[in-house]
Amino acid sequence: MRQTRAIELGTGLFVLLGFAALFFLTTQITNREFGLGDKGYRLTAMFEQVGGLKPGAPVSMSGVTIGRIESITYDFNEYRARVTLRIEKSFDRIPDDSDATILTAGLLGGQYLGIGPGSSETFFKEGDQIQFTQSAIVLENLISKFLFSKAAEGQPAAEPAKEATQ
């Protein structure tokens, strides 16, 4: 009898430890927040280019995380990407002319959505759309723009040289 009790106790301890470890791994080490009754409210924003933005990425104002990206879909009516964000309930005083910009954390970090506050007296509420958006910067586009502008600069300089030879 005593032996079975020891076995049951040991097993119980082991199973408890195992589930505690699993619980810790899923709640503390991942970026998910569980058990928040505070569901907040939803906003949408349309972007030409979302780059590497992923669902679950933070939405921040002045570096403070105020919500997360809920979903990213493609809107065939506007031919743009529709980003749905969920803002925590406590951040309910965001002016409704605020702008949304896709930013990158550090040089190699993940992308997040930055909200810059506007100056309107009315605030965003459930289901509103952010009007002013700025797309993600795609490095290739930036480089090609730079190269083309350089090439365009070089053009007039080459022209007179051509004429001189004629």
Site residues (vs another protein, CB under 8 A): 7-8, 10-11, 13-15, 17-19, 21-22, 24-26, 28-32, 56, 108, 110
Dmax over CA atoms of the chain, in Å, equals 110
Q: How far is the CB of 26 from another protein (least distance, A)?
A: 5
Q: Which two tokens stand for residue 25?
A: 């791994």
Q: How far is the CB of 39 from another protein (least distance, A)?
A: 18
Residue closer to another protein, measured from CB, 17 or 143:
17
Measured CA to CA, the distance from residue 91 to residue 125 in angstroms comes to 10
Residue (of 113, 70, 114, 61) closest to 92 by Cα position:
61
Residue closer to another protein, measured from CB, 5 or 162:
5
Q: How far is the CB of 4 from another protein (least distance, A)?
A: 8
Residue (of 40, 138, 136) closest to 83 by Cα position:
136
Location of structure tokens 């896709």: 102
Residue closer to another protein, measured from CB, 56 or 127:
56
Asked if residue 31 lies in contact with residue 56, where contact means CB atoms within 8 angstroms, the answer is yes
Please provide residue 142's backbone torsions phi and psi, each rounded to the nearest 5 degrees: -60, -45
Residue closer to another protein, measured from CB, 29 or 164:
29
Q: How far is the CB of 55 from another protein (least distance, A)?
A: 10
Q: How far is the CB of 81 from another protein (least distance, A)?
A: 21
Residue 46's CB is within 10 A of a number of other CB atoms, namely 18
Residue closer to another protein, measured from CB, 29 or 161:
29
Is the torsion defined by CA of 65, 32, 101, 84 positive or negative?
negative
